[in-house]
């Protein structure tokens, strides 16, 4: 990248520069432990660009003995360059997230090998033969362990960074660190909670869905619900979030799951991460209607997706409660000494149940908000984009939007998992008119 190209971009990290492929090889050559993973010498290594997101340069480097993933945060949004500058220091938060959770989530995340704060450069474990979950869902492939693994990941990460799992001194140190992740938090607030409900240049949607976009901009009750949950996202520092837990942030095989890309990490409501993942499973369900696929095969895969949503929640609930029960004195939220007798134990059981029920309500709301964001806002998802017929694409998207609107405006209709799962097929034929009976 030439100096002329970056002249309008403000670099806040001393020593930072955008690395070329040759630079990355040279950097890794200076890391004996990483070079040993690759084997041979630098002349034996191969590097290839695998970036498919909007904000980072990502490469796989392979040698005779193995490979690593190298990632550098860029000082702009990819495809926009200096017209959309972005602080490059976000890689430090991804590295901090990996370090904070590495001893907690274990094999559910890749290993961090190296982080250079000057270059905002991360080297981590190469995941092979893992693939991105989103691509597998588009192809109709089944990964039976992924939902349970993600549920366990969120339960473990959330408990061990919350007031239930750590003393407040530890949590406050974590909060003060991740609260500085301003640049990507601003992206989250704008693209998820604000942009879909106003006219802004970043929004991306096909004309056929325009009536839905307009209806959402004009719906005060809907925007009120979104604003309420936006405020909760900003003010409820419940636990450390991944912050962008979609099907593109999970790599899988049939037997293994790895959660990647924690650069959006922040503290917030536990239900946000769960809702984000559920939203992407719901999107995958609706997108199936736009694919040229055998109807019986499609129905079977949709049933699998619904089962995965159920597995995600039931696993999270079971694992989170088990952690709380096994570690009653780990945090300061509900001191074990207050609930030591039989009456106290019974009351604490009710408190725990109510706590996870509240997380489920947050899951439903944040899932709805994330569905809307992935149809109307910036950064569309491949699940829909691969549907070339834009009318069919819009029809699939309309079902997603109709469900999301109902979840936000009528939360009393969705008190439990069964009600949520039953509603998904009901809105499949919502249609392109947001006022049609089928859309309500």
Question: What tokens were used for 299?
Answer: 């129905």
Domain range for 342 is 131-439
327 and 276 within one domain = yes
Q: What is the CATH number of the domain that holds 200?
A: 3.90.1200.10
d(C-alpha 156, C-alpha 170), whole Å: 16
Q: How many CA atoms lie within 13 A of 134 on its CB side?
A: 20
Backbone angles phi, psi at 382, to 5 degrees: -65, -30
240 and 226 within one domain = yes
Residue 81: what pLDDT?
63
d(C-alpha 419, C-alpha 421), whole Å: 6
Residue 34: what pLDDT?
98
Taking alpha carbons only, the member of 438, 380, 427 closest to residue 399 is 427
Cβ proximity of 85 and 7 under 8 Å: no
DSSP 78: T
d(C-alpha 365, C-alpha 343), whole Å: 34
197 and 94 within one domain = no
Residue 82: what pLDDT?
73
- The answer to whether residue 354 scores a pLDDT higher than 80 is yes
58 and 43 within one domain = yes
Taking only the tens place, the pLDDT of each residue in 391-403 is 999 999 999 999 9
115 and 240 within one domain = no
Question: What tokens were used for 170?
Answer: 């530890």
414 and 338 within one domain = yes
Look at residues 65, 95, 125 and tell me which one is the last residue of a structural domain: 125
The secondary structure of the chain in percent helix, strand, coil, rounded to multiples of 5, reads 55, 10, 30
Q: Rg of the Cα trace of the chain?
A: 22
Look at residues 76, 110, 125 and tell me which one is the last residue of a structural domain: 125
199 and 278 within one domain = yes
Taking only the tens place, the pLDDT of each residue in 258-274 is 999 999 999 999 999 99
pTM for the whole structure: 0.95
Cβ proximity of 329 and 336 under 8 Å: yes
Cβ proximity of 407 and 368 under 8 Å: yes
139 and 106 within one domain = no
DSSP 158: H
Task: Tell me the β-bridge partners of 241.
Answer: 266
- The answer to whether residue 111 scores a pLDDT higher than 70 is yes
Question: How many domains is the chain built from?
Answer: 2
């Amino acid at each position: 990248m030439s100096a002329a190209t970056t002249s309008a971009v403000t670099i806040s990290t001393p020593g930072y520069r955008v690395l070329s492929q040759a630079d990355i090889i040279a950097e890794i050559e200076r890391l004996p432990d990483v070079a040993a993973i690759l084997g041979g010498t630098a002349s034996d290594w191969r590097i290839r660009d695998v970036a498919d997101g909007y904000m980072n340069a990502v490469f796989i480097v392979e040698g005779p003995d193995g490979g690593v993933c190298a990632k550098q945060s860029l000082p702009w949004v990819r495809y926009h360059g200096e017209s959309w500058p972005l602080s490059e220091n976000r890689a430090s938060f991804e590295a901090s997230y990996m370090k904070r959770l590495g001893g907690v989530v274990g094999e559910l995340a890749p290993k961090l090998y190296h982080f250079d704060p000057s270059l905002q450069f991360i080297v981590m474990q190469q995941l092979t033969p893992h693939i991105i979950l989103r691509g597998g869902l588009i192809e109709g492939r089944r990964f039976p362990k992924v939902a349970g693994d993600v549920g366990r990941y969120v339960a473990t990460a959330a408990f061990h960074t919350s007031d239930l799992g750590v003393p407040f001194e530890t949590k406050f140190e974590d909060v003060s660190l991740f609260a500085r992740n301003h640049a990507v938090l601003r992206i989250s607030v704008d693209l998820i909670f604000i942009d879909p409900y106003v006219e802004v240049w970043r929004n991306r949607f096909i004309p056929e869905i325009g009536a839905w976009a307009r209806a959402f901009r004009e719906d005060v009750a809907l925007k009120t619900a979104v604003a309420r949950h936006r405020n909760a996202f900003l003010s409820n520092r419940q636990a450390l979030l991944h912050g962008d837990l979609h099907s593109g942030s999970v790599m899988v095989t049939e037997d293994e799951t790895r959660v990647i890309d924690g650069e959006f990490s922040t503290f917030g409501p536990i239900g946000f991460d769960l809702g984000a993942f559920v939203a992407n499973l719901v999107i995958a369900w609706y997108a199936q209607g736009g694919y040229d696929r055998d109807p019986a095969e499609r129905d079977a895969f949709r049933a699998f997706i619904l089962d995965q949503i159920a597995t995600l929640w039931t696993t999270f609930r079971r694992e989170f409660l088990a952690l709380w029960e096994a570690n009653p004195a780990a945090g300061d939220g509900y001191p074990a000494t207050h609930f030591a007798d039989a009456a106290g134990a019974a009351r604490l059981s009710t408190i725990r149940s109510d706590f996870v029920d509240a997380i489920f309500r947050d899951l439903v709301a944040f899932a709805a908000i994330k569905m809307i964001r992935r149809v109307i806002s910036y950064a569309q998802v491949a699940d829909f984009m691969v549907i070339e017929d834009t009318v069919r694409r819009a029809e699939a998207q309309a079902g997603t939007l109709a469900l999301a609107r109902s979840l936000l405006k009528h939360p009393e209709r969705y008190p439990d998992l069964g009600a949520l799962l039953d509603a998904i097929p009901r809105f499949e034929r919502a249609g392109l008119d947001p006022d049609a009976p089928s859309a309500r």
